[in-house]
Amino acid sequence: MKTLKTDLLVIGAGSGGLSVAAGAVQMGAKVVLLEGHKMGGDCLNFGCVPSKALLASSKAAYHQSHTEAFGIANVVPKIDYGAAKEHVADVIAQIEPVDSQERFEDLGVHVIREYGRFISKTEVEAGDTAITARRIVIATGSSPFVPPIPGLENVPYETNETLFELREHPKHLLIIGGGPIGMEMAQAHRRLGSEVTVIEGATALGNDDPELTAIVLEKLRGEGIEIAENALATNISKSGETITVEAKDGRRFQGTHLLMAVGRKPNIDKLNLDAAGIETNKRGIVANDQLKTSNKRVYAIGDVAGGLQFTHVAGYHAGLIIRSALLGLPAKQRTGHIPWATYTDPELAQVGLKETDARALYGDRLEVARFEYHHNDRAITERKTTGLIKVMVYKGKPVGASIVGAQAGELISLWSMVIANGLKMKHVAAMVAPYPTIGEINKRATGVYFSPKLFENPTLKRAVRFVQNWLP
- Domain with 107 in it: what CATH number? 3.50.50.60
| Burial zone of 29 (CB within 10 Å; 0-12 exposed, 13-18 middle, 19+ buried) | buried
Separation CA 248–CA 303 (nearest Å)? 31
What pLDDT is recorded for position 472? 77
Query: 116: annotated binding-site residue?
Result: yes
The order of strands in the sheet holding 242-247 is 233-239, 242-247, 252-255
> 187 and 237, same structural domain?
yes
Last residue of a domain, one of 224, 243, 263: 263
Closest CA to 415 of 425, 406, 407: 425
Last residue of a domain, one of 288, 304, 326: 326
Calculate mean pLDDT across residues 187-205.
98
Query: 199: annotated binding-site residue?
Result: no
Q: Is the pLDDT of residue 471 over 80?
A: no
Calculate mean pLDDT across residues 452-467.
75
Separation CA 162–CA 268 (nearest Å)? 21
Query: 274: annotated binding-site residue?
Result: no
Contact 289, 274 (CB under 8 A): no
What pLDDT is recorded for position 458? 79
DSSP track, 144-177 = E-----TTGGGS--B-TTTGGG--SPPSEEEEE-
Residues sharing a CB contact under 8 Å with residue 336, sequence separation 6 or more, in sequence order: 352, 353, 399, 419
Q: Is the pLDDT of residue 437 over 90?
A: yes
- The rounded mean pLDDT for the chain is 96
Calculate mean pLDDT across residues 227-251.
98
Whether 59 is covered by a domain: the verdict is yes
What pLDDT is recorded for position 328? 86
Domain of 355 in residue numbering reads as 339-455
> 293 and 231, same structural domain?
no
> 196 and 93, same structural domain?
no
What pLDDT is recorded for position 466? 77
Q: What is the pLDDT of residues 372-384, one digit of tens each?
A: 999 999 999 999 9
Contact 409, 335 (CB under 8 A): no
Query: 132: annotated binding-site residue?
Result: no
Q: Is the pLDDT of residue 285 over 70?
A: yes
> 203 and 242, same structural domain?
yes
Q: Is the pLDDT of residue 460 over 70?
A: no
Query: 102: annotated binding-site residue?
Result: no
> 253 and 238, same structural domain?
yes
Report the 10 Å Cβ neighbour count for 469. 7
Contact 275, 136 (CB under 8 A): no
> Residue 245 — left, alpha, or beta (φ > 0 → left; ψ -120 to 50 → alpha)?
beta
Query: 177: annotated binding-site residue?
Result: yes
Confidence of residue 451 (pLDDT cuts 50, 70, 90): confident
- Cis omega before residue 156 (within 30°)? no
Separation CA 291–CA 133 (nearest Å)? 17
Query: 206: annotated binding-site residue?
Result: no
Confidence of residue 391 (pLDDT cuts 50, 70, 90): very high
| Burial zone of 285 (CB within 10 Å; 0-12 exposed, 13-18 middle, 19+ buried) | buried
Query: 270: annotated binding-site residue?
Result: no
Contact 405, 344 (CB under 8 A): no
Whether 460 is covered by a domain: the verdict is no
Query: 182: annotated binding-site residue?
Result: yes
What pLDDT is recorded for position 456? 74
CA pseudo-torsion sign 212, 214, 216, 219: negative
Calculate mean pLDDT across residues 411-421.
98
Whether 331 is covered by a domain: the verdict is no
Q: Is the pLDDT of residue 411 over 90?
A: yes
What spatial distance separates the first Cα and last Cα of the chain, rounded to whole Å?
Answer: 92
Query: 263: annotated binding-site residue?
Result: yes
Q: Is the pLDDT of residue 27 over 70?
A: yes
Calculate mean pLDDT across residues 261-274.
97
Query: 183: annotated binding-site residue?
Result: yes
What pLDDT is recorded for position 153? 96
Is the pLDDT higher at 465 or at 415? 415
Query: 225: annotated binding-site residue?
Result: no
> 82 and 158, same structural domain?
no
Is the pLDDT higher at 1 or at 149? 149
> 281 and 231, same structural domain?
no
> 269 and 139, same structural domain?
yes
Residues sharing a CB contact under 8 Å with residue 364, sequence separation 6 or more, in sequence order: none
> 8 and 131, same structural domain?
yes
3-state helix, strand, coil in the chain (%, to 5): 40, 25, 35
Which is it for strands 257-260 and 172-176: parallel, antiparallel or unpaired?
parallel
The structural domain count of the chain equals 3
What pLDDT is recorded for position 462? 78
Q: What is the pLDDT of residues 321-354, one digit of tens each?
A: 999 988 888 899 999 999 999 999 999 999 999 9
Report the 10 Å Cβ neighbour count for 284. 24
In 3-state terms, what secondary structure has residue 206? Answer: coil
Last residue of a domain, one of 289, 304, 326: 326
Q: What is the pLDDT of residues 221-236, one digit of tens each?
A: 999 999 999 999 999 9
Whether 287 is covered by a domain: the verdict is yes
Q: Is the pLDDT of residue 457 over 90?
A: no
Whether 123 is covered by a domain: the verdict is yes
Contact 416, 403 (CB under 8 A): no
Whether 33 is covered by a domain: the verdict is yes
Contact 449, 425 (CB under 8 A): yes
Whether 466 is covered by a domain: the verdict is no
What pLDDT is recorded for position 453? 78
Contact 297, 285 (CB under 8 A): no
Whether 127 is covered by a domain: the verdict is yes
Query: 409: annotated binding-site residue?
Result: no
- Domain with 347 in it: what CATH number? 3.30.390.30
Q: What percent of the chain has pLDDT over 90?
A: 93
CA–CA distance from 306 to each of 95, 137, 282, 300, 303 (Å)?
A: 27, 15, 8, 9, 6
Calculate mean pLDDT across residues 87-110.
97
Confidence of residue 118 (pLDDT cuts 50, 70, 90): very high
What pLDDT is recorded for position 463? 74
> 208 and 87, same structural domain?
no
What pLDDT is recorded for position 166? 97
Which is it for strands 172-176 and 195-199: parallel, antiparallel or unpaired?
parallel
> 132 and 18, same structural domain?
yes
> 245 and 303, same structural domain?
no
